[in-house]
Copies of this chain bind each other. A is one copy, B any other.
């Protein structure tokens, strides 16, 4: 089935928000047999919405709209689509009760304009909104399907996952199952070279790579009949990719590197502390975004100044003078210092030059040292990164997470390579 995702909202055309909904839907629809052929965006204008909808219905089997279901006068999606499909809007009592209950839960008065949200196209499948007020719906119009979803991602995503995915799964004769293999430490072109014959040679499963900030995600997708297992198609390919990527393959479940590192720490009851200079708290902030991390993450120091490095980490003044704040030696003492001070199993450290200023010919922007200290000793790694301050900090943090992962899994750690 061919699909178009039609977003409705002047705020998109004004550039106030990004159309992340289209991305989310696009990434999930192929798995239930729906191929996305077009994205489009129109403003809160009934004429243009009508034209865009008619075009979408002409060129696609499925049209999914996002936005324009709210209580205000601007919100015209439902009215316009009902008109195009020749359906009346009728009061859906259950939705009205839900909306009332929602306001009650928030302790707020429901204003009269909210009732509008409970008027739904007749003979449509109503999609309950568990995270907001506007219900969605599915209209089956001859051989076409129109699906209306709310605009806020926090409402749209769960509604799509809970109701639309199962709806298509039931209709589809086949299903596409995908596995996402995530690799860190091999550049995209190097990785492509490693698996090029697999990418070229396969039609089912298909293989695609996507790179971002030093990480590469490999998507392996198998098309199978409904109810059949995809594993026998996927397994040999994944096994081959495993062989070729080795320990650089860190997740087969599309987890982030910090998630993998955090889970390894939690599973093994290993406590962690962090000592950061140029990342300024990015390592600890990223880790502490993971619920439950407080069981293993004890704390950290963000030591920008030399004084803070001495005061909080016990880095020796002589080390800072002799080797400088950005050096293997300082990274070593920082990792060891934080581990001892906070009495954790593992201490990690970062010191470097994130730029855009502060570089010298000997120590250019992008030179970063990271360290990891444990009872088994302390190791350090030199990174030579390029790009913006933000990119250098991000890739540095990923290297720290990878170092933790490799340490816990007792894998080899390259101590001086570029990424």
Contact = CB atoms under 8 A, between A and B. Distances in A.
A302 B38 CA distance: 46
Contacts of A389: 289, 291
A336 to B, nearest CB: 16
Contacts of A14: 26-27, 30, 36, 208
Copy tally for this chain in the complex stands at 2
A11 interface: yes
Interface residues of A, number: 74
Main SS of the interface on chain A?
A: mixed
Given A27-B16, A282-B281, A282-B285, A41 B38 contact: yes
Interface in A353-406: 355-358, 389-390, 393
Given A13-B26, A26-B13, A39-B19, A299 B312 contact: yes
A15 B19 contact: no
A15 B24 contact: yes
A57 B273 CA distance: 58
Interface in A28-77: 28, 30, 36-43, 48, 52, 55
Interface string A311-352: 110000000000000000000000000000111000000000
A37 B43 contact: yes
Contact of A39 (B41, B280, B282, B304): B41
| Best-buried of A15, A18, A52 by chain B (most CB within 10 Å) | A15
Interface string A286-300: 011101111001111
A284 B273 CA distance: 16
A129 interface: no
Contacts of A390: 289
B280 A287 contact: yes
A28 B190 CA distance: 38
Given A18-B23, A276-B281, 16 more contacts: A13-B39, A15-B23, A22-B41, A279-B285, A280-B281, A280-B285, A281-B302, A288-B302, A288-B304, A289-B390, A294-B305, A298-B305, A299-B302, A299-B308, A301-B302, A305-B342
